[in-house]
Amino acid sequence: MTYVQGFLLAVPTANRQAYIDHASAAVPIFKDFGARRMVETWGEDVPAGKLNDFHGAVQREANETVLFSWIEYADRAAYDAASEKIMSDPRMAEMAAPPFDGTRMVFGGFEVLMDDGAGQMGYVDGFVLAVPDANKAAYVAMARTASIVFREHGATRYVEAWGDDVPKGRTTDFHRAAHAEEGESIVFSWVEWPDKTTRDAGMQQVMADARMKPAQADMPFDGKRMLYGGFVPILDQ
């Protein structure tokens, strides 16, 4: 997997099953045009932030839940071809109206920088952040250490993806979500765990690991603007 389309959205909590049904109906269409895997995850441990968070990113209302989702493709060319064909496929027009407010959906395309590990997935930690373009190499170096630490403490997969097709939206977008500044790119990343119990124990160990505490001067991005949260997979095909 070398390219990913990432999404953030808010779904009325009462529409959870309707959303699963809607997303499941779309899977065959996306797969027909080159998608390798579609994943939808439901917010379960999504904290409020001081500057920004996933709730604000999608302008979540009180009766809604945040989703962190992605579609995996072989490469950018496969993603571009699929994006063009899917929107013109008559099956998309025949689908029922989506059970959420699509005007607040955040989306974009990302080049995968790292994809370490593979295995059972029963829980996901999702992250969105803005990184100065000049710090890309430093960020990848830091992420390689983080990948080792996370997987040593129970994670099954660690993925980092760099935004290269991230549009500005009328209501919401990744740039606003991460408070991105001029000269910064959006990073969309996630960590897969076998289950919530392993994640809770593993995350405590990760946070206590000295390798995860670089000097402030060595941080290649502003961590105060990072969005993060824990999510339960509701679709993985």
Residue 164 and residue 80: Cα distance in Å, rounded? Answer: 12
Q: Identity (one letter) of the amino acid at 202?
A: G
- Exposure of 104 in the CB half-sphere (CA atoms within 13 A): 19
CATH code reported for the domain at 3-236: 3.30.70.100
Cα-based distances in Å from 75 to 37, 78, 79, 111, 233: 13, 5, 6, 8, 24
Q: Is residue 206 a contact partner of residue 127, using CB atoms and an 8 Å limit? A: no
pTM: 0.96
Give the pLDDT confidence of 23-73 residue by residue, as tens digits: 999 999 999 999 999 999 999 999 999 999 999 999 999 999 999 999 999
Give the pLDDT confidence of 90-136 residue by residue, as tens digits: 887 778 789 999 999 999 999 999 999 988 899 999 999 999 999 99
DSSP state of 56: H
Would you list the domain boundaries of the chain? 3-236
